[in-house]
Chains A and B, each alone.
Chain A
Amino acid sequence: MLPLSEKELDELVAHERERGVPPLTNWDSIAAQLRSEGLIKEKRFGGLGGSRIWMQAAAALLLVAGGAAIGRYTTAKPASESVASRPITTPNNSGQSGVAVQNVSTTTPATPVAEFKTADEAWATLNRAGEEYQRASAYLSASNNDVPMPTSPDTYRTRLAALDNVMTEMRSALHQAPQDPVINQYYMATVGAREATLRQLGTTLPAGAKLNRF
């Protein structure tokens, strides 16, 4: 059998040069070692250096935005009903009670619009708002029995499906623009809302039932 010509070998070499080969490595094992050496940093949002304050601010926004959305949904009332009409009793001149109708805002009295001179002021306000939201939310969860909560797991499942769709879109957007603060905030808000919904869903399941999927 004749050996190949030089040209034929060159052709085989060229083919070998272009040939794709399955990878020898997998990212998980590489990443594990990189992480152990500190070469992979924990995920930072915004690349602002001060990631901690950024995370706190984003978390505050998450609480406010996500909480508002959850709150509105769980009360099962349209937003327009937040200003409700209710009868109030007032004494009249004749000494008899009279009934009048007065619009009463169920929200706290309007406060002056804050004006900020520095970013620190804005962050402080944002963080304070987040903390207040947490306290209010905890109080309402513990003591407000007037608000009808959804009792059907299907309601929560529907919400979870919607939140998952939002998370998918947001995650995709983060890949394109990982430092975009708006996308980060919405993503975190969605994550928080999803976790809260999962907890609520757990309370509606029959005793002994486990949540494996929705």
Chain B
Amino acid sequence: MTKLPDGMQTDQLELARAMKGDERAMRQLWLRHSPHIDAVVRRLCGDHDIAADIAQEVWIQIFRALPGYRGESQFGTWAHRIAVNRTLNALRKVKRLAKIETDIDEETGIIDGETDRTFLAESIEKAMTQLSPGARMVFVLHDVEGYTHDEIGKELGITSGGSKSQLFKARAKLRRLLAPLVDESTIAVGRTHAAPI
């Protein structure tokens, strides 16, 4: 008999109880998984207040869908998928994605020089807020969450090539925006290489 890791065994026990409506078990699932789920929502939204509203909806949706969870993937993976889908849907509703196709074709490739000069990125999270919604989502989904371009294309309703193009432009902008951050911390050892944009 295969022995499950402790965390997975605990998850299974809690899941069984949570499916029956046991609040304590539900809370344990929330406690264990909310750091990751909330982080995904926050990164995709780029706005704390909107993210907070959507994260609440995400968790309600996770528990609504829980009776349909078949255990074919880990709970965290399953919940993560719900979080991404729900967040993208919610953002569409607030019209954050209304211009995503336009953004992908036109806006994100253009480096806003003025913004770059005045914006001092304190963190990559802050830098991501300087990306257009579409570019941020592609970047977050691909680089942070590990989605493939095909998956991103399906989620966002764009082509795989559009996703790749968007990622390239997003990364170029982030490398520029984040330069001061790394310069400060690595100047002592010196940077000898910078890839061409």
| Residues of A bordering B, CB below 8 Å | 1-10, 12-13, 15-17, 19-21, 23-25, 27, 29-31, 33-34, 37, 39-41, 43-44, 47, 175, 178
Contact = CB atoms under 8 A, between A and B. Distances in A.
Nearest to A3: B175
B23 interface: yes
Given A4-B194, A47-B20, A25 B30 contact: yes
Given A2-B191, A16-B125, A40-B23, A30 B51 contact: no
Interface of B: 17, 20-24, 26-27, 30-31, 34-35, 38-39, 41-42, 48, 51-52, 55-56, 59-60, 63-64, 123-125, 143-144, 171-172, 174-176, 178-183, 186, 191, 193-195, 197
B175 A21 contact: no
Contacts, number: 116
A23 B175 CA distance: 28
A1 B30 contact: no
B41 A24 contact: yes
Contact of A39 (B21, B123, B144, B182): B21
B23 A43 contact: yes
A39 B194 contact: no
Contacts of B124: 12-13, 15-16
A7 B191 CA distance: 12
B158 to A, nearest CB: 21
B20 A23 contact: no
Given A13-B144, A37-B64, A178-B22, 13 more contacts: A3-B195, A3-B197, A7-B195, A8-B175, A9-B178, A16-B125, A29-B56, A30-B56, A33-B60, A39-B63, A41-B22, A44-B22, A178-B17
B63 A34 contact: yes
A24 B64 contact: no
11 contacts: A1-B180, A4-B178, A6-B171, A25-B59, A30-B59, A31-B26, A33-B56, A37-B64, A44-B20, A175-B24, A178-B24
